[in-house]
C-alpha cells in the first residue's frame, strides 16, 4: 500500500502541475533525498520530490471500534497506515525561484484536494486518502532534515491517512 499511495499522490500532483503550467513534463518524482551512502538520491534536479519520511499504524480506527466488534472484525479492517510525506523543491542556483513557485503550486494542490481517491483495480479495493498539512515547529523541521541526512530544501510536510 505504501508504493500505491505515494505513486498515486505523485501522479495526481504531476497532473495538476502539468495542467497549471501547460507543460507535459513530469515535474514531481517519488524519490528519497539521499542514498544510504549519503550521496544525493535525486538523479534529476529541478523537480518536486515526494518522499516518505515516517509511517505508523493509524490507531484511531482500532481504538474507536463499535461494541461487539471482535478480533476477527479487527483483522478484516486491514492494515491502516498513517504516512508522513515531505514535498520538497530540489531546485538550485538560478532555478531556486522556479522551485519555490512549483512548491507553492504543490501546496495549493494539497490544500484544494485534501481527499484523493485511488480507484479499485487488480484485485485491490478503492482507497480514499486524506492529505493534511503537518504543522512542524522550526525545531521539528531541523530534526527532520538531520534524520534525512541532507541539507535543507524548501519543503512542506503532510500526513496521509487512509480514510476508506
Question: What is the DSSP secondary-structure string of 66-121?
Answer: PTT--HHHHHHT---EEEEEEEEEE--GGGHHHHHHHHHHHHHHHHH--EEEE--B
The alpha-carbon radius of gyration of the chain (Å, integer) is 17
Per-residue pLDDT for 72 more than 80?
no
Identify the CA nearest to 105 among candidates 28, 37, 51. Answer: 28
Per-residue pLDDT for 97 more than 80?
yes
Cβ pair 139, 86 in contact under 8 A: no
Cβ pair 29, 49 in contact under 8 A: yes
Confidence of residue 63 (pLDDT cuts 50, 70, 90): low
Q: If you average pLDDT over every residue of the chain, what do you get?
A: 86
pLDDT given for residue 136 in this prediction: 92
Amino acid at each position: 500500500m505504501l508504493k500505491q499511495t505515494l505513486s498515486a499522490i505523485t501522479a495526481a500532483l504531476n497532473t495538476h502541475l502539468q495542467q497549471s503550467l501547460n507543460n507535459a513534463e513530469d515535474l514531481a518524482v517519488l524519490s528519497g533525498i539521499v542514498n544510504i551512502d549519503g550521496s544525493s538520491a535525486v538523479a534529476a534536479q529541478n523537480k518536486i520530490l515526494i518522499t516518505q519520511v515516517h509511517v505508523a499504524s493509524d490507531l484511531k480506527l482500532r481504538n474507536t471500534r463499535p461494541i461487539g466488534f471482535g478480533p476477527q472484525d479487527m483483522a478484516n479492517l486491514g492494515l491502516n497506515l498513517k504516512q508522513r510525506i515531505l514535498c520538497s523543491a530540489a531546485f538550485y542556483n538560478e532555478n531556486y525561484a522556479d522551485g519555490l513557485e512549483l512548491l507553492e503550486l504543490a501546496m495549493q494542490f494539497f490544500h484544494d484536494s485534501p481527499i484523493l481517491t485511488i480507484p479499485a483495480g487488480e484485485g485491490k479495493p478503492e482507497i480514499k486518502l486524506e492529505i493534511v498539512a503537518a504543522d512542524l515547529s522550526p525545531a521539528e523541521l531541523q530534526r527532520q532534515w538531520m534524520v534525512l541526512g541532507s541539507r535543507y530544501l524548501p519543503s512542506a510536510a503532510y500526513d496521509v491517512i487512509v480514510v476508506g
